Chains A and B, each alone.
Chain A
């Protein structure tokens, strides 16, 4: 019983230990240090951007993206080029009435 009340007293005393607490003060030249930090933050923005770009994952992803875009562009170009050349051939045949003979035509013997 005595022990319990002793604990209660200690708890109360501890809870009241912040009574009369005074405000803590920051160190001297605080403003100078804030200014230095602001300059550091400004410099850090560019450092962070360059560090982000230089990350292996980001760098590889960017190179991969560029290669992918190039591959897509090459395929697209080949496709349109083939189509254009087919169309050109067709128009040339039609213009000059070029017969596209196959070897079957040569086999046919006219009576």
Chain B
């Protein structure tokens, strides 16, 4: 069915239109969120939140961009909010542990294995995802959209509302940062 008809029907709170929208874009949203939050359960939760948000704020979608671009933006915003919330919780737990209020042991998250990576690249991809996690937010978003979601520079620029040259510069800086990070990792690892 035509995207615009579905959107108009969703604006009338049509349940079947919403179901079609969810089923059409659920994997795209899940894959994007998973690349950013790097945890399957969290990605599932955040993806659900994305569609709840879509249902609630479909009236604010004016059709100035493609529906998928709008969806990507919501997915990225929700994923970043989730990461910030998680970091805040971690900091709070750390402070509590300093004062002896919380005796839970603070653990680093386990390595993330993306289900779409081939078996022979699994370990290397896990190292790369760990390095991606240390990038600044906008570099991480641009890199994930380009490398994990497979968007072109042009599409990334539309999603992030940046010029093409800004996206190129972001990705260049992201690659340099990742290189430096990985050189340190393998330098220390081989010692």
**With A23-B116, A27-B44 in contact, is A15–B27 under 8 Å at CB?**
no
Q: 8 shortest A-B CB distances, which residue pairs?
A: A17-B124, A22-B116, A26-B30, A17-B121, A17-B125, A11-B182, A23-B31, A14-B124
Residues of B at the A interface (CB closer than 8 Å) are: 19, 22-23, 26-31, 34, 43-44, 47-49, 51-52, 55, 114-118, 121, 124-125, 127-128, 131, 147-150, 175, 178-179, 182-183, 186-187, 190
Q: Is the CB of B124 within 8 A of A23?
A: no
Known contacts A14-B128, A17-B128, A21-B125; 20 additional CB pairs below 8 A are A8-B183, A10-B182, A14-B124, A15-B178, A17-B124, A17-B127, A18-B117, A21-B114, A24-B30, A24-B114, A25-B27, A26-B44, A30-B22, A30-B23, A31-B23, A31-B26, A34-B22, A34-B52, A37-B52, A41-B52
In whole angstroms, how far apart are the Cα atoms of A3 and B188 in the complex? 12
Residues of A18-60 at the interface with B, using a CB-CB cut-off of 8 Å, are: 18-27, 30-31, 33-34, 37-38, 41
Min C-beta distance of B37 to chain A, whole Å: 12
- Identity of the chain A residue whose Cβ is nearest the Cβ of B115 in the assembled complex: A24
**With A20-B118, A31-B19, A31-B23 in contact, is A15–B182 under 8 Å at CB?**
yes
Q: Is A72 in contact with chain B by the CB < 8 A criterion?
A: no
Contacts of B23 in A (CB 8 A): 30-31
Residues of A at the B interface (CB closer than 8 Å) are: 3, 6-8, 10-11, 13-15, 17-27, 30-31, 33-34, 37-38, 41
Q: Is the CB of A24 within 8 A of B27?
A: yes
Q: Is the CB of B26 within 8 A of A26?
A: yes
- Identity of the chain B residue whose Cβ is nearest the Cβ of A23 in the assembled complex: B31
In whole angstroms, how far apart are the Cα atoms of A109 and B114 in the complex? 114
Contacts of B27 in A (CB 8 A): 23-26
**26 pairs across A/B with beta carbons < 8 Å?**
A7-B186, A7-B187, A11-B182, A11-B183, A13-B124, A14-B124, A14-B131, A17-B117, A17-B121, A17-B127, A22-B116, A23-B31, A23-B149, A24-B27, A25-B115, A26-B30, A30-B22, A30-B23, A30-B26, A30-B30, A31-B23, A33-B44, A34-B48, A34-B52, A37-B52, A38-B55
